[in-house]
Amino acid sequence: MPKIQETLVEIGDKDPSFIGSRDWIGAIELSFVLDKLLGVSCKIMNVRSGADLPEKCRELALHFETQGTPVMIDGLVCHFEFPGNEYMCLFSLNHTVVWHINAGGGVLAYTLLGVDYNEASGDCAFLILDPHYTGNDELKKIITGGWCGWKKAVDSKGRNFFLHDKFYNLLLPQRPNMV
Tens-digit pLDDT profile for residues 124-154: 999 999 877 888 899 999 999 989 999 999 8
Global confidence as pTM: 0.75
CATH no. for 42-173: 3.90.70.130
pLDDT in the model for residue 74: 75
pLDDT tens sequence across 81-90: 333 322 223 3
Count of positions (residues) in the chain: 179
* Secondary structure class of 110 (helix, strand, coil): strand
pLDDT score of 43 more than 60: yes
172, HSE (Cβ side, Cα atoms, 13 Å): 17
The answer to whether residues 129 and 91 touch, using CB atoms and an 8 Å cutoff, is yes
pLDDT in the model for residue 155: 87
pLDDT score of 119 more than 60: yes
Quote the CA–CA distance of 89 and 87 in Å, as a whole number. 7
- What single-letter amino acid sits at 146? G
Mean pLDDT over the full length of the chain: 80
